[in-house]
Amino acid sequence: MTIQARMDSVRSKSEALSQNSRSESKEMTEKPPLVVIVGGGFGGLAAAKGLKRSPVGVLLIDRSNHHVFQPLLYQVATSVLAPGQIASPIRSLLAKQANISVMLGNVTGVDAASKQIIVDADDKIGIRISYDYLILATGATHSYFGHDEFAAFAPGLKNLSDAESLRNHLLEVFEKAEIEDDPDRRQALLTFVMVGAGPTGVEMASAIAVMTQTTFRKDFRRIDPESAHIVLADMGSRPLATFSEKLSEAAKQRLVSLGVDVRLGKPVQAIDRDGVVIGDERIQAKTVVWTAGVAPSPAGKWLGCGVDRAGRVRIQPDLTVPDHPDVFVVGDTASLDQDGRPLPGVAQVAMQQGKYAALCIFRKVIGHPPSPPFRYFDKGNLAVVGKNFAVLQSAGVQLSGFMAWLVWALIHIQFLAETSLRFSVFLQWAWTYLSGKRGDRLIIRQRSGS
């Protein structure tokens, strides 16, 4: 089927829906409008689901075939969960939604003047697909703050393949340390540096600490995994800087009690294959993980519109791009101020914006007046610091310790994309919690010639 035929089929599937709404519609034409959503992450998926009952055809394009629950990527990297426990095929998540078609493709540009997007799919380069409405939800990637040379030695954690290769690497350095006779080289193998003390850095550092103290404790004969040196570095003055000072301090104390070496207030000057320079001190380390900055997708460049300092598209209060009332940008790749402060790059913002964009399109299509401006409802902030401990900040409530950890666990299970994943993660966590054993401790590398 050609791309055009596919688009016609998406539109015709939505005819039935449009028949129902036609009597209410002022704007409805013979062909239902086509909404193209780019990105099947938190924002794009929420938008797609929000259009379920709209008299439109929807085409969702993503360069990967799955939706990932990014907040649990660190658990794949530290062998608690398997990749398939935190991700689902986008196609299957939307299978019951008749007006949606899903396409595997990499969007490389937008021609807003002619209302077309440009996609590479399989071996077809530069396919043009017309849209009536466009929702860009293409997320973010790592930012090395102008030090792209760090990328080769300090990978980040953004998708499943990052998490899997980090898991392989973490497991491998313990194996190498087990057979290393030189004490300095062994210590470098057992030194882990996280650059960036936001939630991902804190979660990774504490998870590695727990891994060395529980699962690995009895597994090795020559090395003591607990001799691992885990460093959490940040040039800011406290970890979890988006939390209150009290919760930051609680998280710091917890990290220290887990044996994490928290180094604050000094910039990372250099990273190479043998270690890292923090301030003026060199630390020999075979593992450096970049948990610091993120940069948005190139959506701003595609649209040629105004962007903020980080490169995120400056959107209007109805989430559209200035001069393009049919183009919405949501989630990590969008920039919107609320009460004088930019909205944070978190899943809740992306989901609420995706839902709102879907509602705006629905109302336009059926000829209803526009929705009031978007307003983010902040349900709170959570970060986990090892076993039995999390920090929670929500509507004036500040909590740290076991209760916060229980809330963290329940909320993360609830927000997984499918019921089967919720069961699977719950059982895995219960097993790991009781036995100290991790689920997915496999080093899987492609061997040449096999």
Ligand X SMILES: Cc1cc2nc3c(=O)[nH]c(=O)nc-3n(C[C@H](O)[C@H](O)[C@H](O)COP(=O)(O)OP(=O)(O)OC[C@H]3O[C@@H](n4cnc5c(N)ncnc54)[C@H](O)[C@@H]3O)c2cc1C
Q: Annotated catalytic sites, by residue?
A: 203
**Shortest Å, Cβ 348 to ligand X:** 5
| Cβ nearer to ligand X, comparing 18 with 75 | 75
Which of 65, 106, 116, 213 lies at the binding interface for ligand X (CB under 6 A)?
106
Which of 10, 17, 28, 38 lies at the binding interface for ligand X (CB under 6 A)?
38
Q: For tokens 């096999």, what's the residue?
A: 450
Binding flag, residue 296, ligand X (CB under 6 A) = no
As a whole number of angstroms, the distance between CA 34 and CA 14 comes to 9
- Buried b / exposed e over 135-162, threshold 16 CB at 10 Å, is bbbbbbbbbbeeeeebeebbbbbbbbeb
**Shortest Å, Cβ 140 to ligand X:** 6
String marking each residue 126-145 x if it binds ligand X according to CB under 6 A: -----------xxx------
**Shortest Å, Cβ 41 to ligand X:** 2
Binding flag, residue 93, ligand X (CB under 6 A) = no
Binding flag, residue 345, ligand X (CB under 6 A) = yes
Binding flag, residue 43, ligand X (CB under 6 A) = yes
Binding flag, residue 39, ligand X (CB under 6 A) = yes
| Cβ nearer to ligand X, comparing 106 with 388 | 106
**Shortest Å, Cβ 90 to ligand X:** 8
* 253 Cβ contact list (under 8 Å, min separation 6): none
Residue 107: Cβ within 10 Å count? 26
Binding flag, residue 198, ligand X (CB under 6 A) = no
Binding flag, residue 164, ligand X (CB under 6 A) = no
Residue 52: Cβ within 10 Å count? 16
**Shortest Å, Cβ 169 to ligand X:** 16
| Cβ nearer to ligand X, comparing 164 with 180 | 164
As a whole number of angstroms, the distance between CA 10 and CA 1 comes to 12
| Cβ nearer to ligand X, comparing 210 with 334 | 334
Q: At what angle do helices 419-435 and 402-414 cross, to 10 degrees?
A: 150
As a whole number of angstroms, the distance between CA 287 and CA 276 comes to 9
Structural tokens at position 54: 């709209």
**Shortest Å, Cβ 198 to ligand X:** 9
**Shortest Å, Cβ 284 to ligand X:** 26
| Cβ nearer to ligand X, comparing 94 with 137 | 137
Which of 85, 297, 335, 432 lies at the binding interface for ligand X (CB under 6 A)?
297
Binding flag, residue 350, ligand X (CB under 6 A) = yes
Q: Check: CB of residue 319 under 8 Å from CB of residue 331.
A: no
Binding flag, residue 398, ligand X (CB under 6 A) = no
**Shortest Å, Cβ 357 to ligand X:** 11
As a whole number of angstroms, the distance between CA 43 and CA 153 comes to 31
# binding residues, ligand X (CB under 6 A) = 33
| Cβ nearer to ligand X, comparing 63 with 363 | 63
Q: What are the helix (H) ranges across 314-418? A: 347-365, 402-414
Q: Region of 446 please: left (phi>0), alpha (psi -120 to 50) or beta.
A: beta
Alpha carbon 198 to its chain centroid, in Å, reads 14
Structural tokens at position 44: 């794009």
**Shortest Å, Cβ 33 to ligand X:** 21
| Cβ nearer to ligand X, comparing 50 with 199 | 199
String marking each residue 305-334 x if it binds ligand X according to CB under 6 A: --------------------------xxx-
Binding flag, residue 12, ligand X (CB under 6 A) = no
Q: What are the helix (H) ranges across 133-213? A: 160-178, 183-189, 199-213
Residue 372: Cβ within 10 Å count? 9
Binding flag, residue 88, ligand X (CB under 6 A) = no
> How many CA atoms are closer than 13 Å to the CA of 16, on its beta-carbon side?
9
Q: Which of 241, 296, 292 is nearest to 268 (CA)?
A: 292
Binding flag, residue 42, ligand X (CB under 6 A) = yes
As a whole number of angstroms, the distance between CA 336 and CA 322 comes to 12
Q: Check: CB of residue 339 under 8 Å from CB of residue 111.
A: no
Q: Check: CB of residue 70 under 8 Å from CB of residue 50.
A: no
Residue 367: Cβ within 10 Å count? 12
String marking each residue 212-251 x if it binds ligand X according to CB under 6 A: ----------------------------------------
| Cβ nearer to ligand X, comparing 43 with 57 | 43
| Cβ nearer to ligand X, comparing 348 with 388 | 348
As a whole number of angstroms, the distance between CA 350 and CA 348 comes to 5
Question: Which residues form the interface with ligand X (CB under 6 A)?
Answer: 38-44, 61-64, 70-71, 73-74, 106-107, 137-139, 157-158, 199-200, 297, 331-333, 345-348, 350
